[in-house]
Homo-oligomer: A and B are copies of this chain.
Amino acid sequence: MSLDRLIKRIDAMHNPSVVGLDPKLEYVPQFLQDAFFEKEGYTLEAAANAILAYNKALIDALCDIVPAIKPQAAYYEMYGWPGMRTLVETIRYAREKGMFVITDGKRNDIGATMTAYAAAHLGSVSIGDTKVEPFGADALTVNGYLGTDGIQPLLEICEKQDKGIFVLAKTSNPSSGEIQDRKIGKKPVYEVMGDMCEDWGSAHIGAYGYSSVGAVVGATYPEQLADLRKKLPHTMFLVPGYGAQGGGAQGVSGAFDANRRGAVINSSRAILCAWKKEPNCPETEFAQAVRREAIRMRDDITAYLHR
């Protein structure tokens, strides 16, 4: 079961965190941008190549202490098809370094189309007799608004190819409650979605008690997070919103079970931009600053869990 692979890495590194690789061009140090602009002009290709170099340096600096990365598809699409090539190359590089890769795409559609998304991001496509992995991630975030037949094609790939998904339940943004907190009967929509995650995952439970179907639950709503942890015993949580969005170690502690498992906490901007915030950090040392911030985050979260 795919999320077992993630949990194993978390256990081995004593670090339940994932670094969100959401590389806006302005996060990339100027010297690195300039190197590509001088060669390739002010083009999407140059921007995408600068981002790839930045990502690789970050992966090198993080792969022995952080179990997983979560590239956000939007920040690659923003640089067009060269950006998508950078996404492919980033995923490949991180997996070569042993990292677990969660593509944050929040994809959703009808069954036939989800079969295409599942093949694109987690599976492979056949071209003649050749099988190719278009993006090749270990897990994908998805939106469950369309119900079971939009999830089914993913479950098949999770089973056959040892992959995972994380379904949006309660998102970290300020207006998430507009739909997600509204009550269906006695339950808020996010809990109905959480119940569906338990259901979808019920035939796919791994060695740690968690299925290959996880849920996205924001660090910015610690009460709902702790409440869902109790109600969804087989659903691992991907928790965004720690760091730049305001979530803290105390807030996310409720995402974990009694064995300190069951959640992986994401931070993106606070880690990617660490080199901008650290006093007197030369921009050439961006990767070391990123590593220091990732260690600080790990220690912040684990210290709280081991009180």
The answer to the question of A16 belonging to the interface, with a C-beta cut-off of 8 Å to chain B, is no
The answer to the question of A250 belonging to the interface, with a C-beta cut-off of 8 Å to chain B, is no
For A168, list chain B residues within 8 Å (CB): 108, 145-146
Tell me how far the C-beta of A73 lies from the nearest C-beta in chain B, rounded to whole angstroms: 9
Q: Range of interface residues on chain A?
A: 35 or more
Taking a contact as CB atoms under 8 Å apart, the answer to whether B78 and A81 are in contact is: no
The answer to the question of A72 belonging to the interface, with a C-beta cut-off of 8 Å to chain B, is yes
**Of the 9-residue stretches A177-185, A205-213, A253-261, which lies at the interface with chain B?**
A177-185
What is the oligomeric copy number? 2
Taking a contact as CB atoms under 8 Å apart, the answer to whether B177 and A135 are in contact is: no
**Of the 9-residue stretches A2-10, A54-62, A109-117, A279-287, which lies at the interface with chain B?**
A109-117
Are A147 and B109 CB-contacts (below 8 A) given A128-B37, A135-B77, A184-B184? no
For A175, list chain B residues within 8 Å (CB): 146-150
B80, B110, B117, B174: the one contacting A120 at CB < 8 Å is B80
Query: Which chain A residues have a beta carbon within 8 Å of chain B's beta carbons?
Result: 22, 24-25, 37, 42-44, 46-47, 72, 74-75, 77-85, 87-88, 106-111, 113-114, 116-117, 119-121, 125, 127-130, 132, 134-135, 143-150, 168, 171-180, 182-185, 189, 192-193, 196, 240, 245
